[in-house]
């Protein structure tokens, strides 16, 4: 859903932020926004890099190059915690955009439509509304995952994307639970604009500490241009 959300944001208001495993900025622009140190207090430092760049009157461009990012394996719980951290950060960095992103999900509305249809005794209508949501998510996986990102896995596993969409909605709901996160084995609190402050003496739980260790291990990002 992140790819779709970014494309919608670019369509509606243009790029006012940056994201992804690879970003490029001119040296003079970086100096003008305060240098790398200006990003240090933010979890979504990629977002803030683009936000500050736009704020000083420079243009942010979404690259046509597709980035293949090699991510390390992690437990299901650690992966879910990571996604909640990311969504919670977006909630503070881009409040209205994060709130409106609920409209990018389809399965919750399909399930709601099915429940309403069943409640009215209109079983065919309820199942029809759910089917529309399922087909919509499968189509999104193919059109965005393959048509835009050129990820062949989005074709093989497109039938799983409706479940992923529903999971994404629950993670979105979880992002509104508090303003604290555990990152790098330490506990932080989000403030205005997504700026973090460290909670003195607080550390994370075992799965979160394992996740922190995994992120310290080597990983690599490979830039691949899949477009003609």
Render pLDDT for 29-61 as a digit per residue (tens, 0 to 9).
999 999 989 998 898 888 899 999 999 999 998
More confident residue, 66 or 99: 99
**Does the reported pTM lie above 0.85?**
no
d(CA 44, CA 29) in angstroms, rounded, equals 19
Q: Is the pLDDT of residue 11 over 50?
A: yes
Alpha carbon 150 to its chain's center: 18
Examine the pLDDT at 21 and tell me if it is beyond 50.
yes
**Residue whose structure tokens are 């240098």:** 35
Does 3 have pLDDT greater than 60?
A: yes
Quick one: how many helices (H) and strands (E) in the chain? 10, 5
Q: What is the mean pLDDT of the chain?
A: 84
What are the extents of the domains in the chain? 1-70
């Amino acid at each position: 859903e992140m790819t779709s959300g970014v494309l919608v944001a670019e369509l509606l208001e243009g790029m006012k932020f940056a994201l992804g495993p690879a970003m490029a900025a001119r040296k003079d622009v970086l100096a003008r926004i305060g240098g790398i140190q200006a990003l240090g207090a933010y979890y979504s430092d990629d977002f803030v890099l683009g936000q500050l760049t736009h704020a000083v009157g420079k243009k942010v461009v979404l690259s046509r190059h597709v980035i293949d990012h090699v991510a390390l394996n992690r437990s299901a719980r650690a992966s879910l915690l990571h996604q909640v951290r990311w969504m919670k950060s977006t909630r503070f960095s881009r409040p209205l955009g994060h709130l409106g992103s609920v409209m990018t999900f389809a399965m919750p509305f399909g399930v709601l439509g099915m429940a309403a249809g069943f409640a009215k005794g209109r079983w065919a209508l309820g199942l029809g509304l759910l089917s529309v949501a399922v087909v919509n998510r499968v189509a999104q996986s193919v059109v965005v995952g393959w048509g835009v990102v050129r990820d062949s896995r989005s074709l093989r596993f497109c039938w799983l994307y409706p479940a992923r969409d529903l999971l994404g909605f629950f993670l979105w709901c979880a992002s509104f639970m508090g303003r604290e996160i555990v990152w790098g084995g330490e506990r932080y609190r989000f403030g205005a604009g997504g700026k973090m402050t460290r909670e003195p003496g607080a550390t994370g739980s075992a799965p979160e500490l394992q996740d922190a260790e995994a992120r310290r291990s080597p990983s690599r990002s490979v830039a691949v241009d899949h477009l003609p």
